[in-house]
Amino acid sequence: MKKPNDAVIECHGLTKHYAKGKISVTPLKDLDLEVSRGEYLALMGPSGSGKTTLLNLVAGIDSPSEGTLRVCGENIAELSRSRLARWRAHHVGYIFQLYHLVPVLTAFENVELPLLLDDMSGRERRERVEHVLGIVGLDDRMHHFPRELSGGQEQRVAIARALVTSPDLLVADEPTGDLDREAADAVLGLLRRLADEQSKTILMVTHDPRAASSADRVLHLDKGRLLEAEASNAA
């Protein structure tokens, strides 16, 4: 397991309530958590345990009801909507289970999309896209459309898209859930290298113990509470 240096994620008393009809639901309750730079963390637990809620809070997609949350040195609950959008674009890369690629765009064009919001030259965008597609091993498939790629290749395009803005943090929601074992192992190996070689901090939700074993730490959530934290065999 990596030794802590500076915390990328700091949660103290983190709580989330929301209304479901006339009922108040609390998917997270008084959660304390610190994640260091370059740490690869897996979140496990049954459906409804609060895993995805925590992922969305950390990514700035949702806001906490109580407690404090600092991510990449910023108290994101205090940011305005416009500042939060800019913060998220530069600090967080989100990897989804079902890729969310645009079918009419090539792999290159899908990866380029987040950069279109930035003020940079076409040459710089091209260099960035080619670089991250090289990192995920798809520089020879950049002009292919999603329908021309395997599921594992589509997920690697999605990872390249998450990487292209050089974020500090990658959040991954069941990134291997729709893949066969061979493709899943390739994606997990890539995430492991991103943590080890580029010091990317990775927070991954998974139901798969084999996927979780690739991480530095495994956290178990149940009914919004942290039950245990253990080192995996990856370190």
What tens digit of pLDDT does each residue of 7-31 get?
899 999 999 988 888 888 888 889 9
Question: How many other CB atoms are found less than 10 A from the CB of residue 168?
Answer: 18
Q: Select the more confidently predicted residue: 233 or 82.
A: 82
Q: Is the pLDDT of residue 93 over 50?
A: yes
**Domain of 182, in residue numbers:** 39-60+92-231
Q: How far apart are CA 189 and CA 121, in angstroms?
A: 32
In a domain, 8, yes or no: no
Average pLDDT over residues 36-50: 89
Q: Does residue 145 lie within any of the structural domains? A: yes
The answer to whether position 135 is within a domain reads yes
Average pLDDT of the chain? 88
Question: b/e map of 126-138 (b: 16 or more CB within 10 Å)?
Answer: eebbeebbebbeb
In a domain, 119, yes or no: yes
In a domain, 22, yes or no: no
**What total of structural domains would you count in the chain?**
1
Question: Domain containing 192 — which CATH number?
Answer: 3.40.50.300
211 domain residue, yes or no: yes
pLDDT value of residue 32 = 92
- Given a cut of 70, whether residue 62 has pLDDT beyond it is yes
Tens-place pLDDT, residues 132-179: 999 999 999 999 999 999 999 999 999 999 999 999 999 999 999 888
Looking at the domain assignment, is residue 1 inside a domain?
Answer: no
pLDDT above 50 (res 235): no
6 within some domain: no
Q: What is the pTM of this model?
A: 0.86
